[in-house]
Amino acid sequence: MITLQSVSKLYVSGRGHIQALSEISFTAEEGQGIILVGRSGSGKTTLLNCIGTLEIPDSGAIFYNGTDICRLSLRRRTLFRRREMGFVFQAANLLPWLTVAENLQFPLELNGIRGKAQRGRIEELLGTFGLAGYEKALPVELSGGESQRIAFARAIAHAPAILLADEPTASLDTSTGKQLVELMITLCRTKGTTLFIATHDLELLAMADRVVTLKDGKMEQRT
């Protein structure tokens, strides 16, 4: 269970003060698929970054399993991400100098899954995403849809509690994107992973357990 309590974030830049998030509060259950929508600049990326501990809110708290993850030290936050977070970004997620298998190896190594268990898990993931036989391919040799699928596989390889996807379908065509999101939501639901997807694509909303709409950093809730 993840609970956000009055999360606010203010950016100070050349354009003046920008209230990227103001007083965001909601609770997400295990296995829920939550879609964040809102116009460009409404604060979706900022919210995902706060949940993912890549950024620290100015005020408010984010509780995971009873711990305020915003108050953790840098080292513990990093280790928390290593253990319980998966990230998928809009594009260019994969490490370009590593093959598909080596990319998948990364989170497994970080979590101490090695040797035979590691090889087994990589095979299992490639099978799940329909990419068996792609082990030795380099990211440049993959299509956009294939690399996003690998990115998802890498993000869930270590069975994280939270999966954060920032516009994962933006570089894909509508039907490919839809298939991918469907697969993710189903997978996360069965594994008990809480999934956050930020998107512009309103067609995806029907699949979500919950939709959070942001407008100028404020939440307009509807279920």
Partner 1 sequence: MPYRLFLLKKRICKALNKGPPIYSTMRFTFLFKIASLTLWRSWRASVVLLFMVISAVAALVFLSALAVGTNDAMIRNSTGLFSGQIAGTGIQELETHRLQIPGVKQVLIRRQLEILLGNGESLESLVLMGVDPAQEKAATAYWQKTVAGTYPATGEETIFISQDTAKRLKLAIGDTVNLLNLKGFPLKKLAVAGIFKTGISHLDQGLAFCPTQALPTGETALSVAVFLQADTPVESIVTQYRQILPLASVSAWTDFMPDLKQLIDLDSVCMAIVITLVFAIVSVGISCTFLIFTLKNLREHGIMKAMGLLPGDTALLLVTQIGLLTVFAAAIGTLAGFLTVAIFSRTGIDISAFTSHNQYFSVSGILYPRLTGLALLTPPLVAILFGMAATIWPTIYIIRKNPADILRSV
Contact letters for partner 1, residues 164-203 (x by CB under 8 A) = ----------------------------------------
Please list every residue from 34 through 63 that binds ligand ATP, using CB under 6 A.
Answer: 38, 40-46
**Any long-range contacts for 8-12 (C-beta under 8 Å, 24+ apart)?**
8/57, 8/58, 8/59, 8/60, 9/43, 9/46, 9/50, 9/55, 9/57, 9/58, 9/217, 10/58
Shorter beta-carbon distance to ligand ATP: residue 14 or 115: 14
Q: Can you list the alpha helix ranges (DSSP code H) found in 52-162?
A: 74-84, 100-110, 115-128, 144-156
Shorter beta-carbon distance to partner 1: residue 74 or 206: 74
Of 173, 183, 194, nearest in space to 69 by CA: 194
41 binds, among partner 1, ligand ATP, Mg ion, none (CB under 5 to 8 A by kind): ligand ATP
Assess 17 for contact with ligand ATP (CB under 6 A): no
The region of 35-43, 50-58, 171-179, 204-212 touching partner 1 under the rule CB under 8 A is 50-58
Assess 22 for contact with ligand ATP (CB under 6 A): no
Number of residues lying near ligand ATP (CB under 6 A): 12
Among the listed residues 22, 42, 45, 199, the single contact to Mg ion using CB under 5 A: 45
Assess 136 for contact with partner 1 (CB under 8 A): no
Let me know if 96 is exposed, middle or buried by CB neighbors in 10 A (0-12, 13-18, 19+): exposed
**Residue located via tokens 């933006």:** 170
Shorter beta-carbon distance to partner 1: residue 93 or 169: 93
Of 217, 215, 209, 220, nearest in space to 33 by CA: 209
Sites of contact with ligand ATP (CB under 6 A): 11, 13, 18, 20, 38, 40-46
